[in-house]
Amino acid sequence: MKQLFIQDISKTYGKKKALDHITMELSPGVYGLLGPNGAGKSTLMNIIVGNHMPDSGSITYNGKDILGGKTFFRNVLGYMPQQQGLYSQFTGYRFLTYMAALKGIKRSETAQAIEHCVNMVNMKEHMGKRIGAYSGGMKQRLLIAQAVLNDPEILILDEPTAGLDPQERIRIRTMIANIAQEKIVILATHVVSDIEKIASEIILMKDGHVIAKDSPIHLGQQIGKTSVATLEDVYMYYFEDGGEQDADISK
């Protein structure tokens, strides 16, 4: 049974508590990490993928420690960072070949791995073009392709639809839902519609805290008075005026 166990993780930058005692257990499914700017989404992802160390806490995958980026974990991990410089002179194909080498995929298996993930993101006809000539959506799809090159068990996607038009958003959303089978997928966004339909669970983060974690339907039931609220309503309830935060202050 695949299980990612995040236990009591805290991280401070200067005086800023980016993560404050985060604990969660993740089994295969799509987790939508939802929260406003600065909530701590990217920080949590950076710690899971081994780019940053937390100040305290532990993370294990199937019972084994993964903090700091262990080789066994890297082999089953796919990551698409929020900000990424792409080699604009490279063709898409060259970029993926390069990424395959970095990920330690055998040369004899590289062509097949690339073909598989390129088909997955519908980028076959663009592989010979320079990345500099790609649209924003094509770049995002190429980044998703590199994240799934090694057929990962855990897929971490930090704002995969940032800057995309609605059509491209929907394409990418569908693509992620298809890729997600049997994997632990964590997808950070502040766009509710990116995850409303595909997430099995929503993790709401604010100021370094997890303020709710449940299926979209349960979250909707908890705040809906007469009927199930939409995830957008849930977001507004927790993050905008009139939400729980204000209600507490007025007591």
Contact set for Mg ion, span 185-204 (CB under 5 A)? none
Give the CA distances from residue 242 to residues 36, 209, 221, 247, 248, in Å, rounded to whole numbers and listed in that order. Answer: 16, 19, 18, 7, 10
- Evaluate whether 190 touches 37 at the Cβ level (below 8 Å): yes
Provide, rounded to whole angstroms, the least separation between the CB of residue 39 and ligand ATP: 4
How far, in Å, CA of 11 to CA of 41, rounded?
12
With binding defined as CB under 5 A, does residue 43 bind Mg ion?
Answer: no
Of 25-33, 35-43, 223-231, 242-250: span binding Mg ion (CB under 5 A): 35-43
How far, in Å, CA of 247 to CA of 250, rounded?
5
If the CB atoms of residues 43 and 140 are measured against ligand ATP, the closer one turns out to be 43
Diameter of the chain measured on Cα atoms? 66
If the CB atoms of residues 74 and 190 are measured against Mg ion, the closer one turns out to be 190
Provide, rounded to whole angstroms, the least separation between the CB of residue 157 and ligand ATP: 12
Q: Give the number of residues in contact with Mg ion, rule: CB under 5 A.
A: 3
For residue 219, which of 242, 195, 243, 203 has the smallest C-alpha distance? 203
Which of ligand ATP, Mg ion, none interacts with 81 (beta carbon under 5 to 8 A by kind)? none
Provide, rounded to whole angstroms, the least separation between the CB of residue 93 and ligand ATP: 30
Residues in contact with ligand ATP by CB under 6 A are 13, 16, 18, 35, 37-43, 82, 190
With binding defined as CB under 5 A, does residue 42 bind Mg ion?
Answer: yes
How far, in Å, CA of 125 to CA of 123, rounded?
6
End-to-end CA gap in the chain: 45
Provide, rounded to whole angstroms, the least separation between the CB of residue 183 and ligand ATP: 21
**Per-residue string for binding with Mg ion, 59-98, x by CB under 5 A?**
-----------------------x----------------
Of 41-49, 112-120, 229-237, 238-246: span binding Mg ion (CB under 5 A): 41-49
Three-state secondary-structure class, residue 76: coil
Half-sphere exposure (Cβ direction) of 39: Cα atoms closer than 13 Å: 20
Burial class (CB in 10 A: 0-12, 13-18, 19+), 11: buried
- Evaluate whether 204 touches 238 at the Cβ level (below 8 Å): yes
- Evaluate whether 189 touches 161 at the Cβ level (below 8 Å): yes
Provide, rounded to whole angstroms, the least separation between the CB of residue 51 and ligand ATP: 10
Which of Mg ion, ligand ATP, none interacts with 37 (beta carbon under 5 to 8 A by kind)? ligand ATP
Provide, rounded to whole angstroms, the least separation between the CB of residue 71 and Mg ion: 26
With binding defined as CB under 5 A, does residue 140 bind Mg ion?
Answer: no
What is the phi/psi pair of residue 134, to 5°? -80, 150
Which of ligand ATP, Mg ion, none interacts with 150 (beta carbon under 5 to 8 A by kind)? none
Question: What is the binding site for Mg ion (CB under 5 A)?
Answer: 41-42, 82
